[in-house]
Amino acid sequence: MVHWYHAQSTTNIDIFLNENNPTGAEPVPESGFMLNSVNDTLTFIPGKTYRLRLINMSGFSMFYFSIDGHDLDVIEIDGIDVQRKTVQSVSLTAAQRVSVLVTAKNTTDMNYYMHADMNVDMFDIIPEDLLVNLTAPLYYNKDSTNFAASEDIGMDSDFDDFPLVPLVVENAAPFDHQVNLTFNFDVTTNGINRGMFNEVPYLSPKIPTLNTLLTQGNYSLEPEVYGPQTQAIILKHLEMVEIVLINLDAGAHPFHLHGHVFQLVGRGPGVYDGSNSDVEWFLENPSRRDTIQVPAETYVIIRFRADNPGVWIFHCHIEWHLESGLAATFVEAPDVVQQRMTLPDAFIETCKAADMGYDGNAAGKQGLDLEGAPNGVYLLYDGFTARGKGAMAGCVIAALLGMAAIVAYSRMDPLKEARAIAESKAAKL
């Protein structure tokens, strides 16, 4: 399933990353479809069991998939086989892959509809002509127009992919290295709303990070060499890495790690600080995959073994958010990479052909001379002066006093005084 934009992504990026879009409203797709086109169908032979490999190819929208009148048995997610789990619908965030087994009916008297319904939570507008609930026919008999009632699941799916249990057992191991990646969106110093980890949006370096690693000798062990805004995190060979991924945003975001499969070891509401009592832990054979959706204002804790030396990007798979800076770079075991790899000639030729440098640090220079490296796009801190803050505090206090007065009057007994007068008169009589 996929959603579809009618304009080129470069056009949409120009609209999205723009001072006139301070809230960071994402381009909303114009259409979508399942299989290869809006006219595609599937045909089942009675009695057979089918494996459907579902992929959400969208760069933005999450989908809920279901088939009228049929159960779905989930058996695989992101390439990891899991214990069979029967569900009515499956959710797929951008970049997720799920396999389901579907057992065909034994009769051909009825045809059915498959559904792929968009999650529209993040759509700022829903264009009138956008069909958000997609359907495609599932035929048992192509000559028949007899279809079971079509039931959109919409956004009501209760599918939870987090607890899916891998067939190959791997318990969680204690971590050696913890990385906190707290993300949010905000207007930055160049006036554009950007996504960012730990208040720093990712900016592409002048030299690809792997080239820096392979050309800068021992400097490859220092995160500075990769540039001030590549969010380079150096990992030691074979250490167990724990990422605490905290979502401060009001939307859900799908994170994807290259070069690894990670374990989903915990989740919970709000912000994780290591002492939370309401963490839902999954330490025994936790689910493994390379993409995880982090719901709004929650956190997810993931772990992986740094056993694949190289440079691996970790990013939101909503492509608009990746473009806007929601990415970090794991520079994994640079010492081992230098022992095992050299830059292939073809790689160097490609850089030359693209008029890009292939040797140097993030600024295209040597060592830690980073003058000229992409830099300076930071979170815009509040622009209030001390006087402004004083005035604001005064306003707030006045407003609170006003509200307190209203509350006090509303609680007063309006007849208390009258009663007291009447009682005193009565006492005198």
SS3 244: strand
Q: Which of 138, 316, 331, 370 binds Cu ion (CB under 5 A)?
A: 316
Shortest distance, position 122 Cβ to Cu ion, whole Å: 8
Shortest distance, position 76 Cβ to Cu ion, whole Å: 25
Look at strands 97-103 and 49-55 and give their pairing: antiparallel
Q: Which of 321, 323, 327, 337 binds Cu ion (CB under 5 A)?
A: 321
Q: Is 260 in the site for Cu ion (CB under 5 A)?
A: no
161 versus 323: smaller Cβ distance to Cu ion: 323
Q: How far apart are CA 131 and CA 63, in angstroms?
A: 13
SS3 39: coil
Shortest distance, position 13 Cβ to Cu ion, whole Å: 14
Shortest distance, position 95 Cβ to Cu ion, whole Å: 11
Q: What percent of the residues of the chain are helix, what percent strand, and what percent coil, each to the nearest 5?
A: 20, 30, 50
Backbone angles phi, psi at 38, to 5 degrees: -65, -15
CA distances from 221 to 307, 321, 339, 367, 373 (A): 17, 28, 13, 11, 18
SS3 66: strand
Query: Which single residue is written with the structure tokens 């209030």?
Result: 384
Gyration radius of the chain's alpha carbons = 28
Shortest distance, position 253 Cβ to Cu ion, whole Å: 3
Backbone angles phi, psi at 338, to 5 degrees: -65, -35
Q: Which of 98, 138, 292, 318 binds Cu ion (CB under 5 A)?
A: 318
257 versus 318: smaller Cβ distance to Cu ion: 318
Q: How many residues sit close enough to Cu ion to count as binding (CB under 5 A)?
A: 4
Q: Is the dihedral of CA 244, 249, 252, 254 positive or negative?
A: negative
Selected range binding Cu ion among 46-54, 147-155, 239-247, 312-320, rule: CB under 5 A: 312-320
Which residues between 215 and 254 bind Cu ion (CB under 5 A)? 253
Shortest distance, position 372 Cβ to Cu ion, whole Å: 29
Residue ranges in contact with Cu ion by CB under 5 A: 253, 316, 318, 321
